[in-house]
Amino acid sequence: MSVHAKHAPKVTTKSAVTHTKLATEALKFLDEATALLRTGIREGAQTTEKSHILAKKKAHSLLGKASKTLSQAIEDGASTLQDFIKKI
């Protein structure tokens, strides 16, 4: 008969949920940007210069959104950490 160690229940804090949502959103932006760039690479010479520039601008915009989202997650995490330290 084996005895299994009991694991402590997972505690999901509000900030953890927020960080997960922000990370998921950032990954979504990155996935869209990479898919857009891959499509542009595959099509290569078939695309016009104008559509190539538009795809590049859209990818740049998506990467900017991902960057802002990750920055927000970092700021929220730092704020949560500071609040925790103050309570100690």
Q: Which pair of tokens denotes residue 71?
A: 């920055």
Q: Is a pLDDT exceeding 80 seen at residue 3?
A: no
For the chain, what is the total number of helices (H) and then of strands (E)?
A: 2, 0
The rounded distance, in Å, linking the Cα atoms of 30 and 79 is 25
Q: State pLDDT tens for residues 43-71.
A: 665 667 777 788 888 888 888 988 888 88
Residue 62, Cβ neighbours under 10 Å: how many?
A: 20
Q: What percent of the chain has pLDDT over 90?
A: 0
Residue 1 has what pLDDT? Answer: 46
Q: What pTM was computed for the model? A: 0.56
Q: pLDDT at position 42, please?
A: 65
pLDDT at residue 11 tops 50: no
